[in-house]
Amino acid sequence: MPNAYVEVMDKDVSLCSDVQVVWCGAVSSTVAAGEEFTFTCNATFPVRFVRVTRRSTVAVGVRIGIGHIDIQGEGTKKPHRSYYKTSKKKTSEPFLTTSAMTAGECGIICQRYYSCIDFSYSATAPTDENCLLTHKTLSSHYLDDNSWTTYILSCM
pTM above 0.85, yes or no: no
Looking at residue 148, the DSSP 8-state letter turns out to be -
Coil/strand/helix, residue 32: coil
The mean pLDDT of 28-47, rounded to a whole number, is 81
CA-based nearest residue to 127, from 153, 148, 105, 154: 148
Element of type H or E holding 9:
strand 4-9
Burial class (CB in 10 A: 0-12, 13-18, 19+), 74: exposed
The mean pLDDT of 103-111, rounded to a whole number, is 85
Element of type H or E holding 85:
strand 84-87
Decide the pairing of beta strands 90-91 and 96-98. Answer: unpaired
- Which segments of 23-101 does DSSP mark as H helices, in order? none
Domains of the chain: 4-54 (no CATH), 84-153 (3.50.4.10)
Each residue of 90-102: pLDDT tens digit? 777 788 889 998 8
The mean pLDDT of 143-148, rounded to a whole number, is 69
